[in-house]
């Protein structure tokens, strides 16, 4: 029994050593930097009164990425008797993992978790008619608003030609925290969306440029060993 125990322990030790050796052979040296712009936000910026600029970048470490995003958000919705404006910036940062590292065109499907933070300000002015004071214009503002939240991201990047890719990212934004608001509760948080929501979904459509500065081999897909089929028993 002791011999069996020691033999089993030795096999487990050799197996774990082999796995560690295989992991150590992976190439974690960066080989590319990705730059992207959100096409939906860019269209809104060009063809409307809103500013919705959002930029994305990440660098690879094997099949993992460190991603960062930065955006500028300005809105000015108006209506009968009121004028509201909000402007600010936001950033997101976090890890992504490529779940399709074997693609020969280096297209990818990825999943990521990100921390996000926004700094912004807003103000509103609206007309109010009071029986005692008559018509008057009221003004309220917040000069130093901050918000933070977390995101779970799922996306895909597809090669179009050369270093140009197209892709989209679906986001679930959750665990929002808002501070700095006083008499005026903000309408929208840059990068997050409606301020009265605790969590919500988002979507970005990116035009992507991949800057490759060294040629890294595409990893080979591991082949799973299958059990040898049992031979049929001879008929008696």
Higher pLDDT, 3 or 219: 219
Could you tell me the end-to-end alpha-carbon distance of the chain, in angstroms, rounded to an integer?
Answer: 37
Q: Tell whether 186 is covered by a domain.
A: yes
Instruction: Please check the confidence at residue 14 and state whether its pLDDT lies above 50.
Output: no
Instruction: Please check the confidence at residue 174 and state whether its pLDDT lies above 50.
Output: yes
Q: Tell whether 225 is covered by a domain.
A: no
Quote the domain boundaries for residue 180. 27-78+88-119+146-212
Confidence of residue 3 (pLDDT cuts 50, 70, 90): very low
Confidence of residue 215 (pLDDT cuts 50, 70, 90): confident
- Asked whether the beta carbons of 108 and 210 are under 8 A apart, the reply is no
Q: Tell whether 130 is covered by a domain.
A: no
Percent of the chain with pLDDT over 70: 81
Q: Tell whether 136 is covered by a domain.
A: no
Instruction: Please check the confidence at residue 206 and state whether its pLDDT lies above 80.
Output: yes
Q: pLDDT per residue over 77-124, tens digit each? A: 877 778 899 999 999 999 999 999 999 999 999 999 999 999 999 999
Confidence of residue 225 (pLDDT cuts 50, 70, 90): low
Q: Tell whether 172 is covered by a domain.
A: yes
Higher pLDDT, 144 or 126: 144
Across the range 3-17, mean pLDDT stands at 44
How far apart are alpha carbons 212 and 108 in whole angstroms? 15
Across the range 169-190, mean pLDDT stands at 94
Residue 133: per-residue pLDDT: 64
Of residues 88, 192, 181, the one with CA closest to residue 142: 181
**Domain total in the chain:** 1
Instruction: Please check the confidence at residue 224 and state whether its pLDDT lies above 90.
Output: no
Instruction: Please check the confidence at residue 7 and state whether its pLDDT lies above 90.
Output: no
Q: Tell whether 174 is covered by a domain.
A: yes
How far apart are alpha carbons 145 and 191 in whole angstroms? 13
Residue 96 maps to which CATH number? 2.40.160
Q: pLDDT per residue over 15-49, tens digit each? A: 444 444 444 467 889 999 999 999 999 999 999 99
Average per-residue pLDDT for the chain: 86
3-state secondary structure of 39: helix
Q: How much is the pTM?
A: 0.80
Higher pLDDT, 72 or 49: 72
Q: Is the dihedral of CA 62, 157, 92, 96 positive or negative?
A: negative
Across the range 207-214, mean pLDDT stands at 95
Buried b (16+ CB within 10 A) or exposed e, 64-100: bbebebebbbbbeeeeeeeebbbebbbbbebebebee
Residue 79: per-residue pLDDT: 75
Q: Tell whether 233 is covered by a domain.
A: no
Q: Tell whether 132 is covered by a domain.
A: no
């Amino acid at each position: 029994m002791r011999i069996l125990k020691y033999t089993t322990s030795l096999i487990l030790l050799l197996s774990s050593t082999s796995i560690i050796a295989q992991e150590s052979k992976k190439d974690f040296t960066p080989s590319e930097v990705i730059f992207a712009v959100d096409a939906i936000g860019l269209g809104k910026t060009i063809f409307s009164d809103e500013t919705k600029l959002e930029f994305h970048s990440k660098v690879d470490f094997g099949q993992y990425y460190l991603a960062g995003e930065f955006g500028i958000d300005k809105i000015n919705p108006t209506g009968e008797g009121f004028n509201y404006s909000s402007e600010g910036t936001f950033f997101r940062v976090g890890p992504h993992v490529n779940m399709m590292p074997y693609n020969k065109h280096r297209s990818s499907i990825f999943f990521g978790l990100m921390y996000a933070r926004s700094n912004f300000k807003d103000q509103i002015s609206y007309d109010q008619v009071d029986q005692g004071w008559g018509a008057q214009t009221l003004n309220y503002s917040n000069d130093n608003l901050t918000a933070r939240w977390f995101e779970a991201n799922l996306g895909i990047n597809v090669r179009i030609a050369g270093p140009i890719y197209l892709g989209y990212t679906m986001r679930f934004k959750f665990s929002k925290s808002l501070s700095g608001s006083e008499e005026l509760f903000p309408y929208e948080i840059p990068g997050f969306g409606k301020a009265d929501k605790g969590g919500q979904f988002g979507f970005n459509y990116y035009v992507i440029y991949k800057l490759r500065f060294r040629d890294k081999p595409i990893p080979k897909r591991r082949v799973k060993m299958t059990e040898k089929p049992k031979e049929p028993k001879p008929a008696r």
